[in-house]
A and B are shown apart, each in its own frame.
Chain A
Amino acid sequence: MSQPAINIQPANPILTVNNIEVVYDEVIQVLRGVSLAVPEGDVVTLLGPNGAGKSTTLKAISGLLKSEDGEVTKGDITFMGERIDNKNAEDVVRSGVFQVMEGRRIIEDMTAIENLKLGAYTRNDSQINQDIEMVFNYFPRLKERTGLAGYLSGGEQQMLAIGRALMARPKMICLDEPSMGLSPLLVKEVFSIIGQINREQGITMLLVEQNANYALKAANYGYIMESGKIVLDGTQDELLNNEDVKEFYLGGGNEERKSFKNLKSYKRRKRWL
């Protein structure tokens, strides 16, 4: 039934988050000691309910916390052997971590191509136009859209946001809820392209999701967060077969149950860890 949390530290992680605590506005503690490791070239997912601190973890990595009055007060974050937890967002992008923020966040009053060009802001080489073509190969329907990006459909905006991330030629992309607000069919499409990009470009992915089913199928390794802590982690198989994960995240679980009378509280039990 209950499995102890397994802590396999990958041999050669590209990103390590070591016991970080995050405080907003100098009083609200959101993360209480989060550690995770992302191996190079892998897809790692971070799951959890609303308010668990998933997005905060991503923003701590990408340096965007500062623009929200948040601060990493303890612990450290290392990317490719370099401390990035006290860097500005723009310097983190330059070191190769690109975050696709929750809710797409494309620039609505610009065209798709202008959005893509901005993705390459930190680059100075001459292959930007080539890379725009590459993005269009992954997302052919973006090529037909010449109007303002604000008029694109939700799925197209998500594709544009991922394409814009590719334009920076990052080593790692942090995706914050790419499935948000998309139809099941589009979720499937977006996830398959994420997998394709990971395989073809060798870009490491850290995927924050609420849609555990898709996320776990796309990822090699997963972490589950609750109330600002990692409560469980494991490989794809371990998590997919974990009874608790099945029950609380995948919606299957204990099929014999007819009532909710004896429902265990996942949280309470996990506090013993």
Chain B
Amino acid sequence: MNFELLMQLIVNGIIVGLLYGVVGMCFVLVYKSTQIVNFAQGEFLLVGAWVCWAFLTYFQLPFFMGFILTMVFMALFGVLLQMVVLRPMIGEPIISVIMITIGLSIFFQSLMKWIFGVSPQSYPKVFESESVQILGLNIEMAYLMSTVISLAIMVAFFLFFKYSKYGLAMRATAFNQQIAQSLGISVKQVFAMSWGIAATLSATAGVVIGLVNGVSNSLSTMGVKVFPAVILGGLDSVVGAIVGGLTIGVLENVAEFFDSQYLHVGNMYDIAPFYVLLIILWFKPYGLFGTKDIERI
């Protein structure tokens, strides 16, 4: 058994899992505060990664400046998307809104292909050395940065929802919109804010992945990958999204290890998480951390 390879893959799994966790958190955020299952989640990554790439190549900005500008752009993008496309849908059946997010997903995928073309592009070099050695493991600098960013986002997320006025307002809205209104909270503002935050943080993940693998339209499949992660954790649990993300990340890589070493089936990397998801949902239909919805009639 190639122990070193296994360790390397598990570490990779954790790094990628943290990114899944970040994207999953954004997904949960939108779902909790607006009840919308956002099928355009993956496109946030895609748009963010392309916009950052454009800043870095067309405008030749230094990486961190381009990165920050991308985040600002994506915050506006998310808020505008909510205000222009989704706000008029408030009060309509939730399923119609979900259909709209599917439409948005197709729209932005095509738009990105139209603007930036279909061939993958790589980011300009950001770090001097490609990778560092930690405890005998080879870790790419971009991955290291991604871990730091993911963890920072998670801590910030926690602090925001625990201590800030707006975080509390968003939790109140998630709990009950009428109560939130009675406290003077503008539900429309909260909706816009949650889309803004979701777009910004997802884009961060998009940029980080872009740094490692380059930008291509396949980035939006992250939106699909995140599904098993959040459903595993429970659609309405932020902690669940992180745990689910980590689990899926590690599972993928472990499945890859066993496949390459013993089974030689191919493509286990993509499929294994969905099998595990299926089995877990069998026993826990609301996910590991989700709350059961009790409908009283």
Contacts and interface: CB of A to CB of B under 8 A. Distances in A.
B172 A101 contact: no
Contacts of B184: 89-90, 93-94, 98, 121-122, 168
A88 interface: yes
A118 B181 contact: no
Interface string A43-63: 000000000000000000011
B169 interface: yes
Contact of A93 (B168, B179, B182): B182
Q: Is the interface of B mostly helix, strand, loop or mixed?
A: helix
A88 B184 CA distance: 9
Given A108-B175, A109-B171, A88 B186 contact: yes
Contacts of B186: 88, 90
A265 interface: no
Contact of B182 (A62, A108, A109): A62
Interface residues of A, number: 27
Interface string B228-248: 000000000000000000000
B183 A119 contact: yes
A64 B168 contact: no
Most chain A CB inside 10 Å of its own CB: which residue of B179, B181, B183, B186: B183
A67 interface: yes
A107 B167 CA distance: 14
A33 B41 CA distance: 49
B168 A114 contact: yes
A147 to B, nearest CB: 15
B181 A121 contact: no
A90 B179 contact: no
A204 B78 CA distance: 42
Interface in B129-185: 165, 168-169, 171-172, 175-179, 181-185
B178 A121 contact: no
A98 B179 CA distance: 11
A117 interface: yes
Contacts of B182: 62, 64, 89, 93, 98-99, 101, 105
Contact of B169 (A93, A98, A121, A164): A121
A110 interface: yes
B181 A90 contact: yes
Contacts of A99: 182
A101 to B, nearest CB: 6
Interface of B: 165, 168-169, 171-172, 175-179, 181-186
In order of increasing CB-CB distance, the 9 nearest A-B pairs are A93-B184, A122-B184, A89-B181, A90-B186, A90-B184, A107-B175, A105-B179, A67-B178, A121-B184
Given A68-B178, A117-B165, A121-B168, 19 more contacts: A67-B178, A89-B184, A90-B184, A90-B185, A90-B186, A93-B184, A101-B179, A105-B176, A105-B182, A106-B179, A107-B179, A109-B175, A110-B172, A118-B169, A118-B183, A118-B185, A121-B183, A121-B184, A164-B183
22 contacts: A62-B182, A63-B181, A64-B178, A64-B182, A67-B178, A67-B181, A90-B181, A93-B183, A93-B184, A98-B182, A99-B182, A105-B176, A105-B179, A108-B175, A110-B168, A118-B169, A118-B185, A121-B165, A121-B168, A121-B169, A122-B184, A164-B183
